[in-house]
Structure 1
Amino acid sequence: MFAESLVPVSDDPVVELFVAQSGYCAERPLLVIHGGPDWDHSYLREPLARLAGHRRIVLPDLRGCGRSTRGLADGAYTPGAATTDLVRLLDALGIERADVLGFSYGGLIAQRLALAAPERVRRLVVASSSVLPVPEDAFDGWHERTERMAAEAGVWADPSLSGAGLTRAAALAAAPANVWRPDALPGYLDVLAGVRFSGEWMRPWQAGTLPGPRLPDAPRRLADSGIPLLLLHGRQDMTFPVGLVEPTLELIPGARASVVEEAGHMAHIDQPRAWLEALEAFLSDPSEG
């Protein structure tokens, strides 16, 4: 169902992005930006593949991730460089304007893309992510979160783990926190088994040299851009708190929100039908865009 290719996006340094596309001839392309960032895009293929009959789904791996170019200098892994890659990817694919969905860390990159090249973004979906920074006390008193995340904390503290092995181990340990419904957990673990993890972005992050992905005054700038915005969130997200949704809507009056019930950070895994319906309703609304 997906056509896969390597697309050159940079000469200095040389970078090729691995891209999977489905519904190539369909109208209204949807560019999907994965999170991690040391993951690949594959954990997002479902349920998005179900849109391929009428949308061109474009799923790249960011530089340093999955099957895209790796082995770059640590300074080459920045949110700004990833954003530039995506603009050049749209150029290379002949896409003048696209809907953009950014998931988790990818939601921060998606905001940067919308503000760097607003003429290229028809609609913006910030999924399982946030426009506002996460306060330090955002999860205070949520004891179940503490219990579910304990295993992941132990992985990050293990000195015997590094690189892609550390990223994979952390993702597996975090699975009970990222997926809210116990009956969805086995399927999610199967999805994780197919992810090509890396450790490229982890090096500058651990060294303290990775620039932050958030842009100053993002809510005002997104509001001024006029780009239709959807916040697509799981009610029980343990990474980006659902409590940031309402304050964001107050700052961006034209934005919308869809909070998926009984869903965690991986809301598309917990509730694929509800998640996809909310996404498609926003992208297909004839009143905007």
Structure 2
Amino acid sequence: MWRDRLVPGEPEIFVAWQEGTADRTLLAIHGGPDWDHSFLRDPLERLDCRLLLPDLRGCGRSGRVPEEEYHPDGLMQDLLRVLDAFDVERADVLGHSYGGMVAQRFAITHPSRVRSLIVSGSSVLPLPPDAFAGWTERDEVLARQEDPWQRQDLTPKERTRAEAFASAPANIWRAEAMPGYLRRLEEVRFGAQWLAPFLAGTLVSPRLPDAAQRIAELDIPVLLLHGRQDMTFPVDLVEPTLELIPRARAVVLEEAGHMAHVDEPDGYLNAVREFLAAG
């Protein structure tokens, strides 16, 4: 059963959490970043470990900060406060999409607090300019996608929400999964706090230089969990990452896109469950 908790501090951090039967804690970090945690609940809620799903600062039901404080370093302090509030010394950390880069940064900067790392629908290596060259189907999907950022009749928050719905065909591969995904989006509390520094060109990426080498030096188990049809982070970066991180393994879900946990929830869940059990 899900419970809610506000972790005090500047800002307050909202955490949806679920007690488990296993003596492990999984900290799951959402992407967007102007989304909330809710789109990640299913299928993770079927795990038997304790789950902590925070809303990042400025997102969902967490507190807001001045524009200059939407920075990865602030996120690191927020995540530390979350673990401390729940008396978690070391957590397994999963990050999806943008959250995948946040999770990597947290593991690198606070290694004593991270037991293992799951990079979901994201990448350790930077994306090359030609990452998707020759993928005609992706080109066609993106060509049909509406651009809400051009709509002056929408508020910034409404544009974030509209962009999430407009990009659904690029994020979901299986047509059968689309209705459920759209229902899931209806429940997300979209925001626009991170949008302002992004548009101003001042938003700092959470990706650290030489991330692969630095993660390899941590000597912790790493899972790269990816959809074969991911149109945001190319699956082609998985293999070279494995070559750089000896303790990394990969699970690629063949009929899944960027939201692999929605396209293939059972395969996604099994991959996470087996990885945690092995670690």
Q: Give TM class, smaller chain.
A: over 0.9
Q: What aligned pairs does 1:1-289 form with structure 2 within 5 A after superposition?
A: 1-8=1-8, 10=9, 14-23=10-19, 26-51=22-47, 54-70=48-64, 72-152=65-145, 154-285=147-278, 288=279
Are the structure 2 counterparts of residues 173 and 277 from structure 1 closer, same or farther at C-alpha, using a change threshold of 3 Å? same
- SS of the residue corresponding to residue 15 of structure 1 reads coil
CA distance in structure 2 between the partners assigned to 1:279 and 1:25 by the alignment: 16
State the TM-score, normalized to the length of structure 2: 0.97
2:138–2:170 contact (8 Å) kept in structure 1: yes
State the TM-score, normalized to the length of structure 1: 0.94
- SS of the residue corresponding to residue 13 of structure 2 reads strand
CA distance in structure 1 between the partners assigned to 2:210 and 2:31 by the alignment: 22
Percent of residue pairs identical: 58
How far 1:153 moved relative to its partner? Answer: 5.3
- SS of the residue corresponding to residue 225 of structure 2 reads strand
CA distance in structure 1 between the partners assigned to 2:143 and 2:171 by the alignment: 12
CA distance in structure 2 between the partners assigned to 1:154 and 1:197 by the alignment: 17
How far 1:160 moved relative to its partner? Answer: 3.3
Q: Note the alpha carbon deviations across 1:87-121, whole angstroms, 9 max, x for none.
A: 12111111101100000000000001101111111
How far 1:24 moved relative to its partner? Answer: 5.1
CA distance in structure 1 between the partners assigned to 2:220 and 2:155 by the alignment: 40
CA distance in structure 1 between the partners assigned to 2:62 and 2:178 by the alignment: 28
How far 1:202 moved relative to its partner? Answer: 0.4
CA distance in structure 2 between the partners assigned to 1:28 and 1:127 by the alignment: 19
CA distance in structure 2 between the partners assigned to 1:96 and 1:69 by the alignment: 24
How far 1:156 moved relative to its partner? Answer: 2.8
How far 1:127 moved relative to its partner? Answer: 0.2
How many residues of Structure 1 are paired with residues of Structure 2 in the alignment? 279
CA RMSD of aligned residues (A): 1.2
